[in-house]
Every structure is written in structure tokens, then in C-alpha cells.
Structure 1
Amino acid sequence: MALFSELKRRNVLRMAVLYVVAAWLIMQVAEVLIGLGVAPDSIGPATFKVLLIGFPIALAISWYYEITPEGLKLEKNVDRGESITHVTGRRMDFIVIALLSAALLLFAYDKWWPRGTMDQSIAVLPFTNMSGDAAQEYFSDGISEELLNLLAQFQDLRVISRSSSFSFKGKDVDLRTIADQLNVSHVLEGSVRRSGDQIRITAQLIDARSDAHLWSQSYDRQFGDIFAVQEEIAGAIGDALKVRLALTADEAVRRVPAKAANMDAYDAYLEARELIRRRGRENLEVAVELLERALRLDEAFAPAHAQLAIATWHLENRVSRPNLEQARRTASRHIDRAQEIEPELAEAYAGRALLALGDDQNAAVNFAQKALLLNPSYTEVMNWLYIALLRLGRYEEYVATLEALLEKDPLNPIGQWNYITMLARQGRITEADDFAGSDMIDNSGRGSYLDLVTAIPWRGDIADGILSHLIYRAEFPTRRTEIDELVQAFVWIGEYDEARRLDPDLAFLVDVAEGRFDSAILATQSRMQQNPENQSSIQAAANVLYAAGRIDGALPLFESLLALRPKGLPLADGEATMRLAFGRRSAGNEQGAQEIAEIVRKDQAARHAAGFHNQYENRTKAMLAAFDGEPDRVIAEFKTAIDIGLRDPLVFADPIFEGLRDDPRFVKLKEGLDVILAREREKVLQLICFNNPTPDNWQPLPETCEGVERRKE
């Protein structure tokens, strides 16, 4: 008690509170300066370190020194009768109160102050179809999008991309709410009425903050004049915005809308483009037919060639996959023809970026950036761009591109999903879940998917993930989204028969888990022979051979994958790259093995710089530690991986860990994971046997539920 009283008398406790509050405010100022670009990112950590070092110094000064009317003196030299510590204490109290008030105001400003909108910003809402024919919806949407693309050419104007603007279609939402969600100050809306060859387009520009109509105009035209009408409307809106927002419209690179000599060809093109956005086998097949029809009517319609290339590749690569190389040749031929007709066509560069994603990530980046230069509102290309950046190990650019996409297209579902994945990669699971449940996300019809993004691969919540997958598959039965994760989830908990029947193409994963390596090798070899240049097929075959202990057979396949990568970059993932390193060592090529391990070390450093922290990083680090002969580090990395989501028991069987098989710590970790998986299996069986959310869409095998007793709630 005497010490506490002395601390109070010497104002040490007051100094501690004052210092902490002042330090917090200083850190907030540093954060603002960094955000404004006035200070470098390093100023934050440096300021924190200085403040941390200064804290004990400030307390020591407060203990040993005292402020007197004559100045600062050692406390022992001040007579108690002349001490004014009580006066100094009151002054410090006032300072603390003032600083706390400032902190409270800053917190309130950050928490509740309305977000400012950018004055030079606009959202083009889908024009209302007034034709009385729902089949004409694609036409009114196409007009809206062409206007959006034209406006995006104004360099000073931020134009919200299509998927966000069109997300309000058919919804009763007031303009102020739309403007707030999209963070824009202006909205363009209108209507399209088409009757035979006659069309009427009405457009109006609205100040979303005041609801004031800044400009409106109606256009009655022949359908054959549609391109002239689009340019006329965009020009009129540009003039209105130029006056209102001081745009440098005269310097804008004006994009010419997609033109066709035949209006029926343009009709088919618009309808096909909408179907391509929806994806799915049936939509893509119809889109291909429509685009082929458009080109029969107008062979020189360049955008139709480019979109046919994109549709063809999506159909084969994401849905069918029987002959990817034939699809590549067909798509390339159409892209070449599109650029022969119109060399600077954004859609053609986008198509080249999409095709290059399979084997040339640098080219994919270059083509995507060129497409965005020609059409800044083409955010679908940004999706392909950040995929290429991720594969190139340009992780910080990957993060920046995803953030830029959401600024331009905040309600883009693909962008949102991948942003959630990015947060998960960085170990920010709570933020990912919060974002998935925020008002920015339209969870209707796809909330289950937003959960499955993180549940199985990043959180290790197998039962929750299977629940989400079942709901999603019931809603979208034709989609194969993340089906491999569902198969793996059943494999991990030992429900091999359930896993096997989900997708015959992935049955080799079950074979590996059951030790049926000959069957798995046969399946993956056959798949690789069908698509000899497909890197995913090659890696699957290599991984199976490696798991079977046939490292001499896996090594050439891993080497062939490395030859396809830019120099100095790892394979598709760190674990496969470490298998290559181990394969070289097993073959007696120690120098080559160390070269590969060094590639992994550099890649891990780049991932760390980008904030990546997840179970996959720990798994790679565990393999690297085993390679380096550091068992303690292997155990530590595995422990962390299990704590944050590792659920694959097969990782312990990797040949690189052969020397640790009998290590009691290694055995204990594996047994601990087995306990976790047993609990997850019990939850899954309760779910699928008694609480199946989609009984009309999927049922477990009868033998799966034999002997399973319903657990009391």
C-alpha cells in the first residue's frame, strides 16, 4: 500500500494514463498520414517502437523527478513541505481529460461520420425495359452497358462497373440508398421502348444527394440508328457532366460502341453477352450458338468474334473440359480475326488474357492491363488480372488489384468472393466472415457459397462447409464450384463412398486416401494423356505418383511443370515445389534440390510481406523445415497449421516426413488431428442423416447412416 500511495503522490499513475492516451492519438495521426500518402508505411512501426521505448522512460522520470516553481528537480532534493505534486496532478488530470475527449471525438468520427462521396462519380443503372416483352430485357441492358462503357472513357470520372450498378435491377431501392452503397454522387437512369424497328430511349442524369434532375432527354430513332443514338446520349451526358464536374472530356479517349452492320447480329451479340456473364453449361452453350449466328449474319463483327472466344473457353475450361486444346485453338482463331478487324478491341485483349491464364501469366497480366486501358469499366478482366498476379508471386499487387476492383465495382459478387478468400489467405478469418455477412453482400441465393469460401479450406470447419456446399449445390445444381473441396472433406473424415460418388473425375483422391495407388495412377495418367498440356492434370499425376512413393516417376512431371514457370518462381503451390526439391534430393541432385528450396524460401518471404498467414503456408514451412533437418520447427509449424484449420490427415504421410514417423511429438500431433476429425465426422453424420438441408437434391448412402444414432440436442 505504501508503494501504491507513493506512486500516486509522485503522479506516476497519472503519467502512465497520460502517456498511453497521448501515444494512441499520435498513432492515429501517423495512420492518417500514411493513408494520405504523406508518410511511408514504415512510419507506423517506427512510431510505435519509439513510443514503446519512451513509456518506461516517462515513468522513471515521473518517479525520480518533480516539477517545481524553479523547474525540474530530483524528487529527493525537494522538501515535502514545498512539494506541489498535488497541483501538478490536477494539471495532468485536465490534460488527460482533454486528450480523452479528443480520442472520443476521433473514435466517433471514425465510427459514425458519414462516408464522403466522390463528386466526379456516376453509376449507370440498368435502363427499364418498357417494350412489354421480357425477352427484350437483354437489349435495354445492352444499351445501359454501352453507355456505361462510353462514360468510363472520361479520365476524371469514376464510373461504377456493371455488376454493381446492375445489382439493383428489379429492386425497389431509392436513389440515395443506391448512391450511398456505391459511393457515387450522380446516377444515370432511363428506359428503352422497342416496337419493331422503332425505339425510344429516355435518359436522365440525377444528383443523388439532392435528387435534382440535372439533364434529361428522349430519343426516337430507327433501330438501325442505335449506335448513333448511343454515342449521342453519351455525348450529351458528357457535356452535362463536363459543366457540372469540370471534366476534361475533350481529352478523353472516346470508346466506339460495338457496331454491327446487321442489327440482328447485334441483337444476338447482346443476348449472348448476358448469358456469358451468367455462366453455367446451358447458358454458355446458347451463347455460343447466338454468337455463331451473329457471325453468320455479319462475319466482320469483331466483338462477336472476341466474345465467342471467351464463351468457348469458359465452356470447355470451366464446364466440360473434354478437349481444352481444341477450345484454345478455336478461341485463338476468333481473337485473331477480331483484332484483324479491330486491332484495339478491349474484348479481344480480354480474351487473350483469359487464354494466357493457363500457361503464360506474364502475358495474361499484359493483356489484361491493355484491356483495362481500352475499357476501364471492364472489371471482369480485373478478376483475371489478380489471378495472374497471384500465380506470378506478385502478392502485394494481387492484394492491391482486388482492393481496386472492389472500389470500382463494390457489389461485384466474384470480386467479393475473392476478396473474402484474400482475407482468409491473410488469416483474417473474422474479417472475412464479417464482410460475408455485411450489408454489402447480397446473400440471397448464394450465402451458402460465401460461407464455403472459408469453411473447409481456411477454417477447417468440415461440417459447416459440407452444409454450405449442399445448400449451394441445391440452388445451383449444374455448377461444379469447389466440388473438389467437398470431395476432400468427405475423404478427410473417412466417408470414402460418399466422396467417390460426388464426382467420378475426382475419384483418384479417394483412391489415394484408401491406398489404392495403382487405380489413382491409372486415372491421373489417363487424364493427363487427354490433356497433355494442361498443368493441373500434370500436377495431379505427379502428386499421385509422389504419394505412392514412386518419386522417380513423379520427378520428371514436376520438372516439366517447373520448365513452364517463369525463372525463379515456384510451382502452383509451395507443397508441390517442395516435393520437387525432395525428388531431386532422392535422385542424388542435392545442388538442384537446394536451388528449389531457395525458391520456396523467397516465395515464403514474399507471401509473408503480403500478410499471408494460413494453414497452407505452415504446411509448406513444415516441409521446408523437414528438408532442412529441423524437426522442432516441423512440429511447431504443424501445430500452428492444425490450430488454424489443417484437417488433411494425408499430409503426415508425405515422404519428406519419413524421418519423423516415430517422433513422439509427430505421433501426438497426428493423433490430435484424428480426434478433431472424429468430432467433425460425428457432426457431419448428424447433419446428413438427420438434418439434411436438401433432402430432395441429395441423400447420403443408406449404409452411411447405418448404426448412427440421433444425438439429443
Structure 2
Amino acid sequence: MSASLFEELKRRNVFRVGVSYLVLAWIVIQVTSIAVPALHLPDWVNSLVFYFGLIGFPFALFFAWAFEITPDGIKREADVDRSQSIAPQTGRYLDYTIIALLSVALLYFVWESRFETDTLTQPEVAAEHTPASISKVISIAVLAFENMSSDKEQSFFSDGISEEILNVLVKVPGLDVSSRTSSFQFKGRDIGIPAIAKELKVRYVVEGSVRKAGDNIRVTAQLIDSTNDKHLWSDTYDRPLNIENVFVIQDEIAGSIVQALSDVLGTNQIAVKVDKSTNNLDAYELYLKARTLFHARIDLDIADQLLVQAIDKDANFSKAWGIRSALQSLMVEYGYSDNSIDNVDRLTVEYAKTAIGLNPNSATAFAAMGLMMYNSNVDLRTQYNWEEIFELYEKALSIEPTSASALNWQGLSYLSVGELDEALKSFKQCIEYEPYYTPCVDNQMVMLGYMGTDDEAVKAFLDALDSGLVKLDQASYFLPLLARLNKELVFKSVTNLQTVLFGWRRHDELYDAYRNPGEIYTELITDIKRFSESNRVSEPTYLRMILLYIGDYDALPFTLSMWDKSLYNYRQSPQFHSFIKKSNVLKYWQNNGFPKQCKPQGKVDFYCD
């Protein structure tokens, strides 16, 4: 470049314009990268902003070269008298602009560095870095330990050991531990640690194996950095098989993991301790079997029998009492018991109080009592104050913040009192902690449909089907949505399922009724009831919901659906008003404020949209 050209570029402020443009473009791109996910915008917006910035750069330089800003406006540079040019003043303004933009960029860089997190996208953060230079939040997953015993039925024991280690690590400050349902989904799948870590969005992975042979136990565990597939720590524990050694091994593994990560965590002194919940090995193994069934919501009657045996061996086993208190309601709900409701309530309270008496931090017991009171209120049995119910959930969550059961039951209770946003928040928080916990996945997707967010509801249901978390008959909850979207084929496919109205002859009329909500279809209601009584419909919950939507208001409402926008007429009915009053909901509103869709009318009545 000749000297004369260089000087001319300086005189016309081309260099200053170029620098200003690049700094400003960089700031805009950084702000966009934050705004796009925060505003739930599509990823292509980031690319579009970048391309516009790139394309605009040569145009900015050309403008600076060919034109000049004058007191009379923008003119071609060739038409400006050099003696009248204000290019030097414009250059000074551009200098100030560059300084200001660089200051903003520097502030942003400092801010971003301060909140930088330890993720797979930052492989440069290694254990040898000083604590002051890295994040204090470390992502880690504990995979289900492999059962190496000859008896394949012993997998509950290896699962139990890994779950206890996970539960200890959850309580360590600075560790972001992937949920049990997320980590355990890879059980039996040989896809490699880096792939698992990428799917779970964690950096560190704990894996291991358990072998029980006669009177001995061998546990092998290793901590792996997925960014380089390097083992940071590993050990093998060969011990006599007794309850003391089982808890000691869990303690030592958890402690070794924390110690191996101590440099990254920024501390060398974090105490970890496994809760030694029983002194009886047989009781512990029975409890682990029962807990596996409790998590899966299958064979709940068998789970209860296993806990009875565990408590016979150790009457002071608080965790066994806690899960048994929760099982009493769940066995009836899932069809594993025909125990009377009064007896269920009595046993729930009895077992929960026993658990809490043995261990005041029995989160499951507090949540189970909240569930029992919730069921009693909505079934119009003994009435409890909703404030007390929410206090029980809060107590459970203060002890165990990631308790999926407590969050799910809390969400259902918020739904019953019309606090829709709080209910959805509980379900979403539950899924954040346990992405594959079916009850919360189910309740959230149903709520989205009832709140009128049809696109979100459809996406949630498709995602749940893709993950194998729900069955097709659960689309019965979406019948109003399917009718609104004119999905006649899907609507009739669902109502013709074996668990719904398979063999009934009037699906056309039912579809038309859903397409025209608000009326009472008396003859259709009578025919469905007649059919269900003679054909013993296997899922009465779906039937109860279907009847509500076509005008059968006399039965107790299905609380998940009673706030659906399609049920406006139901909310004006005497039956709905009676339910709200008898279930103590109105009293709760009067003491704590009405939900946004309802308002008081006088001192003893109300109105809901």
C-alpha cells in the first residue's frame, strides 16, 4: 500500500469505521447468543445475525471511503471541498465511539468469564487448574453399577449401591449430579462414556460393578473425565459381606470421588457420609428390592410385602416405614389394592409418623401425608387445610429438594386449588431433576393441553412417546385438543382403544360432541355408562374424564381436567361450586387469595372463567 493511499484512508476515517464496525458487530453477536435461548428463538437467528454482520462490513468500508458526513448532510466525498471538510472532527468522534465500544466489550468479557461453567464445551478446564480460575459447579453422573454376581436377580443390590452414592454426591456443594432416572437409562447399553456424558450433558462419569459371592462382596468403581476418557480415580473393594461394610464402601467411594475432584471444587475438605439406615443386611436388601418397584410404580403390592419383611427384621428402619406410608395410597391408585379408603388414610398416617419418629428428616413420610390429605380433600372425605398440605410438601422438599414424588404431588395439589402456574412450575421442576419420571412427564403434558397451549402439549406428548414414557391410551387426556385440531383419525383411534371404548358403536357422535363443547349430551352419557357397565371398561379414569366433557357433572371431577378451557360451562355448574366449597378450596382462596381465573362474589360465593 502506497503512503499516499494509506494517508487517504486515514483522512477519510476508513480505518476508524472498520474498527468501530467490528467491535460493535462482535458485541451484537454476543448479545444475540444470549438472547436467542432466553427468548426461545430458533438457532438460525444466531447464524442470520452473523451473516448480516459479515456482509455489512465491506459496505461500511465503502461508505466511509466514498461518502462524508457534512453539516449539510451526507455527500459524496468527491463533492466536498477539502477546506470545508469536517473529517478530522468526525475522526475524533469515532475515536470516542471506539473507546466506548471497547469498554463495553471488556465489561462483557469480564462478566462472561465470571459466570463460566464447567461443561463439555469447555474441555480446557482441567483438574490441575487453580480453584480461583474455574467454576465451582461440576457436572457429574453416577451410572447404575453392573451386577457381576452369578444371580442376575441381584441387580437391585448393585443399583442400590450406585443410587446411595448418587444421593450422597447430590448433597456436595459444587456438584451438579445427573438424576437417577437419567443416569440409569443407560443400564445394559454399551455406548461408551463420552457418548453417555454428551447425552447427559455432564463432564464426569462414575461407573462400577458389584459382585456378591458367598460371604464376600467386591465393588469396583472409577471416576472418568469424559473430555479425554481418562480415569481420574479407580479402586476395588474386597470385603466380607455385612451391612457395616456395605455402608463403609459407599462412604469410601463417595469420599474418593470428592477428593479426586477437590482441586476443581476449590476445596480439600468436604465431608461426605452415607446414611446408615439399618443394621440388618437382610432388611437392607429387602428395602432395595421394594424401592426399585416403588420407583417404577410396578408390583406395588409386592413392594409393600417386601417392606413388611424388612421391618420385621429391623423395626427401626425409618426409610422402609417412609416408603410404606407412600405405598398405601399408591397401591389403590394403581390398582394393586382394594383396601378401604379409611384404612388407607389411617395406615398412611401411622406409618409416616413412625418414620418421622425414627428420623425427623424422613422426606418421603412428610410427602406421603401430604398426598393422603390431598386425596381426602378432592374425594370429599375428611377435610384438611390446604395450607397444611403445602407445608408438608415444603418440609419434604427442604429435606430432599429433588424428590420427584413430592414435586409431583405438590403440583397436583396446586392444580386442585386452581394455581395453574404453580402446578406447572412444580411439574417442570420435577422433570428438570428427573427427566424420565413418568408421573411428572404425564401431568405436565396434560396440563399444557388443558391450558390451551396446544402446540406445546402435542410436542410434549410426542417427546414422551418417543422416550417410551407414556402409552397411547394416555392420549385420552388429549381428546379435547384433538377435537379442536380436527384430528378425527387420531381421536377415534384413541377412543377405540381396549382401555377406553373399544366395541362401542357411536364414536362419530362422541367426536361431534367434543367438537361442540358446552352442551349436555344426556342420551350419549347414558349409552356410554350402559356400555361400560356391561363391558367392564378397564380404565375408569379415562371414562370419567370423557363423561365430564360431554356434560356428566354429577361425578367427582377429574382434577387434572377441571380447569380445561373447554369446560367453561362445567365451572358455572352447581356441581363445580359444591365441589370447590366441600373440598376446602374456597376457604383456601379466602385466606390466601383467589387464582387469576376466579374471583369472589360476596362473602360465600365465587365465579371462575
TM-score with structure 1 length normalisation? 0.56
User: 2:218 maps to which residue?
Assistant: 200
Give the SS at the match of 2:144: coil
2: distance between equivalents of 1:369 and 1:248? Answer: 33
Q: Check whether the contact 1:361–1:391 (CA below 8 A) recurs between aligned residues.
A: no
2: distance between equivalents of 1:416 and 1:346? Answer: 22
Give how far 1:168 is off.
Answer: 1.3
**Deviation per CA, 1:541-566, whole angstroms, max 9, x where unpaired?**
xxx9x98x995x88655532345534
User: 1:310 maps to which residue?
Assistant: 326
User: 2:294 maps to which residue?
Assistant: 276
Q: Check whether the contact 2:418–2:595 (CA below 8 A) recurs between aligned residues.
A: no
User: 1:287 maps to which residue?
Assistant: 303
Letter matched to residue 606 of structure 2: I
1: distance between equivalents of 2:550 and 2:455? Answer: 35
Give how far 1:445 is off.
Answer: 7.0
Q: Check whether the contact 1:386–1:398 (CA below 8 A) recurs between aligned residues.
A: yes
Q: Check whether the contact 1:295–1:304 (CA below 8 A) recurs between aligned residues.
A: yes
User: 1:669 maps to which residue?
Assistant: none
User: 1:239 maps to which residue?
Assistant: 259
Give how far 1:510 is off.
Answer: 8.1
User: 1:342 maps to which residue?
Assistant: 359
Give the SS at the match of 2:185: helix
Letter matched to residue 199 of structure 1: I
Check if 1:429 corresponds to 2:429.
no
Structure 1 pair 513–393 and aligned structure 2 pair: CA distance change class (3 A): closer
User: 1:567 maps to which residue?
Assistant: 590
User: 1:146 maps to which residue?
Assistant: 164
User: 1:384 maps to which residue?
Assistant: 409
Q: Check whether the contact 1:139–1:270 (CA below 8 A) recurs between aligned residues.
A: yes
**Deviation per CA, 1:133-172, whole angstroms, max 9, x where unpaired?**
2221111111111111011110210111111111111223
User: 1:700 maps to which residue?
Assistant: none
1:581-596 equivalent positions in 2, closer than 5 A: 591-592=602-603, 596=606
Letter matched to residue 348 of structure 1: A
**Deviation per CA, 1:488-541, whole angstroms, max 9, x where unpaired?**
8797488664564226967778888999x8xx86xx5xxx8xxxxx9979x99x
Q: Check whether the contact 1:127–1:144 (CA below 8 A) recurs between aligned residues.
A: yes
Give the SS at the match of 2:221: strand
Correspondent of 2:493 among 467, 474, 488: 467
User: 1:131 maps to which residue?
Assistant: 149
2: distance between equivalents of 1:175 and 1:336? Answer: 43
1: distance between equivalents of 2:303 and 2:513? Answer: 37
Letter matched to residue 284 of structure 1: L
- Number of aligned residues: 475
2: distance between equivalents of 1:321 and 1:157? Answer: 43
Structure 1 pair 167–513 and aligned structure 2 pair: CA distance change class (3 A): closer
Correspondent of 2:247 among 219, 227, 233: 227
Check if 1:323 corresponds to 2:363.
no
1: distance between equivalents of 2:396 and 2:273? Answer: 12
Q: Check whether the contact 1:182–1:410 (CA below 8 A) recurs between aligned residues.
A: no
Give the SS at the match of 1:168: coil
1: distance between equivalents of 2:183 and 2:327? Answer: 23
User: 1:180 maps to which residue?
Assistant: 198
**Deviation per CA, 1:178-235, whole angstroms, max 9, x where unpaired?**
1112111011111111123321111111111211111111112222121222222212
Give the SS at the match of 2:220: strand
Q: Check whether the contact 1:455–1:465 (CA below 8 A) recurs between aligned residues.
A: yes
Give the SS at the match of 2:279: coil
2: distance between equivalents of 1:514 and 1:241? Answer: 60
Letter matched to residue 344 of structure 1: N
Give the SS at the match of 1:122: strand
Q: Check whether the contact 2:514–2:550 (CA below 8 A) recurs between aligned residues.
A: no
Structure 1 pair 512–327 and aligned structure 2 pair: CA distance change class (3 A): closer
Give the SS at the match of 1:236: helix
User: 2:34 maps to which residue?
Assistant: 32
Letter matched to residue 455 of structure 2: T
Letter matched to residue 301 of structure 1: F
User: 1:443 maps to which residue?
Assistant: 467
User: 1:367 maps to which residue?
Assistant: 392
Structure 1 pair 411–138 and aligned structure 2 pair: CA distance change class (3 A): same
Q: Check whether the contact 1:456–1:489 (CA below 8 A) recurs between aligned residues.
A: no
Structure 1 pair 276–82 and aligned structure 2 pair: CA distance change class (3 A): same
2: distance between equivalents of 1:136 and 1:244? Answer: 36
2: distance between equivalents of 1:115 and 1:437? Answer: 29
Structure 1 pair 223–246 and aligned structure 2 pair: CA distance change class (3 A): same
Check if 1:410 corresponds to 2:435.
yes
Give the SS at the match of 2:231: strand
**Deviation per CA, 1:227-279, whole angstroms, max 9, x where unpaired?**
222222212222112234435752x6x45435222221111111111111222
2: distance between equivalents of 1:509 and 1:393? Answer: 18
Give how far 1:385 is off.
Answer: 3.3
Give how far 1:450 is off.
Answer: 7.2
Structure 1 pair 387–71 and aligned structure 2 pair: CA distance change class (3 A): farther
Structure 1 pair 488–269 and aligned structure 2 pair: CA distance change class (3 A): farther
2: distance between equivalents of 1:270 and 1:172? Answer: 25
Give how far 1:413 is off.
Answer: 3.7
Give how far 1:378 is off.
Answer: 3.0
Q: Check whether the contact 2:449–2:481 (CA below 8 A) recurs between aligned residues.
A: no
Q: Check whether the contact 2:499–2:538 (CA below 8 A) recurs between aligned residues.
A: no
Structure 1 pair 381–114 and aligned structure 2 pair: CA distance change class (3 A): same
2: distance between equivalents of 1:514 and 1:453? Answer: 14
Q: Check whether the contact 1:456–1:462 (CA below 8 A) recurs between aligned residues.
A: no
Letter matched to residue 181 of structure 1: E
**Deviation per CA, 1:277-309, whole angstroms, max 9, x where unpaired?**
2224xx111111111111111111111100100
Give the SS at the match of 1:184: coil
Structure 1 pair 299–32 and aligned structure 2 pair: CA distance change class (3 A): same
Using the TM superposition, name which of 131-140 and 169-178 deviates more. Answer: 169-178
1: distance between equivalents of 2:178 and 2:408? Answer: 16
Letter matched to residue 590 of structure 2: K
Using the TM superposition, name which of 258-267 and 180-189 deviates more. Answer: 258-267
User: 1:684 maps to which residue?
Assistant: none
1: distance between equivalents of 2:406 and 2:577? Answer: 35
2: distance between equivalents of 1:567 and 1:511? Answer: 31
Unaligned segments of structure 1, at least 5 residues? 1-21, 42-66, 85-112, 478-484, 529-533, 582-589, 601-619, 621-713
**Deviation per CA, 1:40-72, whole angstroms, max 9, x where unpaired?**
x9xxxxxxxxxxxxxxxxxxxxxxxxx985625
Q: Check whether the contact 2:251–2:273 (CA below 8 A) recurs between aligned residues.
A: no
1:288-687 equivalent positions in 2, closer than 5 A: 288-319=304-335, 323-358=340-375, 359=377, 360-391=385-416, 394-421=419-446, 423-424=448-449, 427-437=452-462, 442-444=466-468, 446=470, 448=472, 454=478, 456-457=480-481, 460=484, 461=487, 463-468=489-494, 492=514, 497=527, 500-501=531-532, 502=537, 524=555, 551=574, 558-561=580-583, 562-563=585-586, 565-567=588-590, 591-592=602-603, 596-597=606-607, 600=608, 620=609
